Amino acid sequence: DGGITQSPKYLFRKEGQNVTLSCEQNLNHDAMYWYRQDPGQGLRLIYYSQIVNDFQKGDIAEGYSVSREKKESFPLTVTSAQKNPTAFYLCASSIEGVSNQPQHFGDGTRLSIL
Amino acid sequence: GENVEQHPSTLSVQEGDSAVIKCTYSDSASNYFPWYKQELGKRPQLIIDIRSNVGEKKDQRIAVTLNKTAKHFSLHITETQPEDSAVYFCAASKGTYKYIFGTGTRLKVLA
């Protein structure tokens, strides 16, 4: 879905460093999500936001932080507290956060440790 | 806790044959079941979904069936083609933000 843009495509993190992954959507969707994907596992929810200036922890929020200052943007910061950050990170959005609306994904950011 | 089991983890079929992937969910309150296709290094793309008030849904060569009593749903791909090769994920949701994803099935269509 061309309406969700994630950047960068690849990112490297040094020990003790915080890094921020960008997610922008022009679909006018209210809800946005961050998932982590590890090999051989399903997608796991990190954080989600149903509306501007509000967000909730998902299943694996420890070591991550988010903000939702604009409807179009939902950046994810991987902090130094996340000891195993190497993974493929996917951002998604949906029309609203309830009522069984399909989630649409961006192209992902692959994060590795230097 | 909530869980979705997906089988098989890998599946190889000859071009033109059918492929079936099955998911079993634990939460009987689940009422929405999307399927995603993910090619290597790319985004998951929604290919079909089904809601609990429907038993089957078709879209060209793809179909999904739902058995609420047994709590399982299946993806059926007929007349498979090489471009169907990808990882397929199922998910279950109960009308909230939260999807519970299966662990994925790597489908390989052999020419």
Neighbours of B16 (CB within 10 A): 11
pLDDT score, position A101: 80
* Separation between Cα atoms, residue B83 and residue A30, nearest integer Å: 33
Amino acid at A75: P
pLDDT score, position A5: 96
Mean per-residue pLDDT, B4-20: 97
pLDDT digits (tens, 9 = 90+) for B28-44: 999 999 999 999 888 99
> Does residue B26 have a pLDDT over 80?
yes
Subunit contact A106:B43, Cβ cutoff 8 A: yes
Residue identified by tokens 């960008």 is: A22
Subunit contact A98:B97, Cβ cutoff 8 A: yes
Question: DSSP character for B94?
Answer: S
Within 8 A of B9 by CB-CB distance, chain A residues are 40
Q: Which residue ranges of chain A lie beneath pLDDT 50?
A: 1
Average pLDDT value for chain B: 94
pLDDT digits (tens, 9 = 90+) for B59-91: 999 999 999 999 999 999 999 999 999 999 999
